[in-house]
Structure formats: structure tokens, C-alpha cells
Amino acid sequence: MNLSEVTERISRKLEAKGAQPDRQKIESRLRRLVEEFGVNAAEAERTVTGDLAREYKVTNIGGTSTELRPISDIVPGEWVTIEGKIVALTPALSPSIAQSGIVADSSGAMRFVTWTRANAPAMEYGHWYRIESAVVDEYKGAPNLKIHSGTTISRMEKDAPLLPSITPIAELKPGVGSVRAKVVQDWEVSHERMLQTGLLGDETGTIKFVTWNEEGKDKLDLDAVYNIFYATVDEYNGRLSLTLNTAMYIADEGDIEVGRSETEIQGALVHIAPGSGLIKRCPVEGCNRTLSRQNYCPVHEIQPNFRYDLRLKAVLDDGIRARNVLVQRELVEKLAGITLDEAVGIAESNPIGMDEIFYRIRNAVLGRYYTCSGSEFGGRLLASSCTPIAFKPEELAALLNRAGGESA
């Protein structure tokens, strides 16, 4: 931890209470505790904050307060006391972490981590605890509760039910969130550790979700509606996504009219990638992975009873930017003028097999102009529609003249 940053944080807290602290003296006290006495930086911050609060006769500046705080009011940089229920426990990602998960009260929920060196008692799923003098920092853009050696944890004899508030997808923020959403797309998983990934939607928009392979986790059904409580909301490259391993989900009998926020691109298909055309998929329920030429699934091994599918992995260039586009079977059939059954029949009777379908589809679409729309995730457009662009004769002539060519 940078002691200059700690000094500034302590100073701002005191100044907010009307005090005029000496930053040089604050940093000197911190360095003495950390460098001479071997106190960890978090405890040093708490100690110096408490000492200065008494010197300046101020209260409730975070480092000394035992006042109970609602989770929804907590921001990074504070020392807090909360009472909450453990609603999720997650595997520790490092030997330095003893426990991690999500703690919630009636106002909200947040992630927590307990350091191994804290020697704190392990908290149990479903129980309430009073957590005193924990420090709040920022993790992945959201407040994160850190339990250290100066934190006191007390189990409470409390069994109050929690009813998480549902947040519209368009209003989600990094941290922990609960949504009522419909499974609008179920994508092919890209890694054997991944159980399911796809798209959830409500009236306000859509969001990508992922569930990693973990004991006790089930897949969501396509087109079904769920109440999903305490999912982890992460942000990457300005886009939010939900991880459902921390969440509990309950099927809902209702329906949702999903509000879609789609991207539209016009341009030429300038590249058809390998893996396009006729492909084989794993037939094991819930898998759907693409098989190798030898019918091998990375999870379920050899699958002789595979099922066929059509897809197009392409690059659409609008003259300014090239975009990766993924087109599924129904659209491929329309664009290439070939049905799945026809493609299977041709492949099974042709000397080059499935490669023949790749070449036919490539010849049908490569170099042609399309307007494609759909949801964009991870730099790829998941096309829900692709319409050929028909140029008027005068427009075509203008393009050819600009390119130095001649019209036919």
C-alpha cells in the first residue's frame, strides 16, 4: 500500500470534519508503525486515524467508528462496521486469501475478502455476522470489504429474511446485482471450464452472462425468465457482464418483452474465417460445443452421434473499421441459398466433404455488401439480421469511377 495515498486519505477525512492536519506528521507516524514496528499498512491506517480523531476531537471519520452502516452507503476508503448475511462463498484464488464471497443486508450487497494472515474465524453461508473495523477498498470498480487482523467478527443469532431489490439491466453497476431477466441467447461455450454463456434481457436492455463449471450450478433454459439474486457484475472495456456462480436463481412463470439495444453495420464481407460452413456439434444435452474433424468434444470426447449445424464467421468492413461477425444457421441459409439438409446431403456425397460447403458459402457471400445488426460483445457482432445491400445503377457507377474501374 502506498503510504502517501494513505496519508492523503486520512487527511481528507479529517479536513471533512473541519480539522487542519499536518500531512508530513501523518506520514511520519505511518512509516514508524510500518517500518519500525512491522505493523501492516491497513492496521497502521486505522491506528493513526483513531489517534488523530481523538487529538482533533472529531468522531465518525471511518477509522474509529463502530456505528452500524448500511451496505448501500459504503464507499471505498472507509473503515466500517456492518451486520450482514453471507449469501455467497467463492473459492479462494490465492493462498493469501482465506475466504471470499458476498455479504448482504436489507440495503444491498458487496463482495468481501478475508486475508489468511488475519486469522479470522471462517464465516458460514446463510448466517448473519457483525463485522467491526473492516476496511473498504475498490475492486473491479466497486466497493470491496477487506477483513484483516484488526477486524472483529461475531456471529449473530439472527435469521431475518432478505428480499434483494431488483435492478433494471440498464441501471446495473459494477459490484453485486439482482435482476429479473429472460434468457434470450444461449451461446456456444469457448472453454471446458465454462458451463454456460449467453445473453440475458429485460425491458431495459440486454447483458452477457457466464456460469463457470462448479458443483451444484445448473444451466438456464433458453427463453425462460428467472429472478437472479446476488450475481457478480463485472466491467471490461466499458461493458458490463454478469457472473452467476455467486447467484441463486428462481424460475419465473411470467414473460418479458426484451428491450434490445442493437448495433447496425453496413459494409462488405471481406473475409470468411475457418470454422464457417457445415460444422458438427456435441449432442450431449447442454453442451453444444463444436467438434473437431474427428468428432472430438473437448469435454465429452468422441461423439459419433453428432448433429450438424451451419454458421458463418466473417469480417465485415465498412471502410473505416473491420468487425468480426458471427451468423447462425437461419441467416446462413438465407444468405447462401442453401438449407442445412441440402448442405448435409452435398457434404456426404462429395469427395471433399464439408469443405465443399465452406467454399459454396464463401463464394455466395464474400465481397458482397450487407447491412447486419445485432448485439456486440467482445469485439464481435452476434448478427440477428443481415440484409444484402442493393446499389442503384448510378451509385454503382459512382463507386466504380471512384475506384478507377468500369461498369459492366
Q: Where are the domains of the chain?
A: 3-55, 71-155, 169-252, 263-388
Q: Which regions of 24-78 does DSSP assign to beta strands (E)?
A: none
Q: What percent of the chain has pLDDT over 90?
A: 47
Taking residues 348-362, what's their average pLDDT? 93
Say what the pLDDT of residue 158 is.
Answer: 86
Taking residues 246-270, what's their average pLDDT? 88
Taking residues 343-350, what's their average pLDDT? 93
Judged against a pLDDT cut of 60, whether residue 65 lies above it is answered with no
The two domains 71-155 and 263-388 share their CATH topology (first three levels equal): yes
Average model confidence (pLDDT) for the chain?
Answer: 87
Q: 292 pLDDT band (50/70/90 cuts)?
A: confident
Query: In this structure, what DSSP letter does residue 253 have?
Result: S
Task: Count, in order, helices (H) and strands (E) of the chain.
Answer: 7, 20
Q: Would the CA dihedral through 132, 137, 140, 141 be positive or negative?
A: positive
Residue type for position 224 = A
Q: Which residues on adjacent β-strands are paired with residue 84?
A: 129
- The dihedrals phi and psi of 176, each to the nearest 5 degrees, come to -130, 135
Say what the pLDDT of residue 381 is.
Answer: 85
Contact 336, 388 (CB under 8 A): no
Mutual angle of helices 23-31 and 41-55, in 10-degree steps: 140
In CATH terms, the fold of domain 263-388 is OB fold (Dihydrolipoamide Acetyltransferase, E2P) (2.40.50)
- The dihedrals phi and psi of 65, each to the nearest 5 degrees, come to -75, 135
What are the tens digits of pLDDT across the range 356-381? Answer: 999 999 999 999 999 998 877 667 88
- Our CA dihedral for 101, 107, 108, 109, rounded to 10 degrees, sits at -10
Other CB atoms within a 10 A radius of the CB of residue 349 amount to 9
C-alpha span between 292 and 295 (Å, rounded): 5
C-alpha span between 304 and 292 (Å, rounded): 12
C-alpha span between 173 and 177 (Å, rounded): 8
Helices (H), 283-374: 329-336, 340-349, 354-365
Q: CATH number of the domain at 169-252, please?
A: 2.40.50.140
Q: Which residue has the higher pLDDT, 8 or 260?
A: 8
Judged against a pLDDT cut of 70, whether residue 406 lies above it is answered with no
Q: Which of 272, 270, 310, 273 is nearest to 290 (CA)?
A: 310
Residue type for position 394 = E
- The dihedrals phi and psi of 97, each to the nearest 5 degrees, come to -110, 125
CB-based burial of residue 136 (10 Å sphere; 0-12 exposed, 13-18 middle, 19+ buried)?
Answer: buried
- Record the cell numbers describing residue 152, joined without a space: 472483529
Q: Which of 74, 227, 56 is nearest to 138 (CA)?
A: 74
pTM above 0.75, yes or no: no
Contact 223, 183 (CB under 8 A): yes
Looking at domain 71-155, its CATH class is: mainly beta
What are the tens digits of pLDDT across the range 87-120? Answer: 999 988 788 899 999 999 999 999 999 988 888 9
Say what the pLDDT of residue 261 is.
Answer: 66
Helix (H, G, I), strand (E, B) or coil at 4: helix
- The dihedrals phi and psi of 358, each to the nearest 5 degrees, come to -55, -50
- Record the cell numbers describing residue 30, joined without a space: 505511518
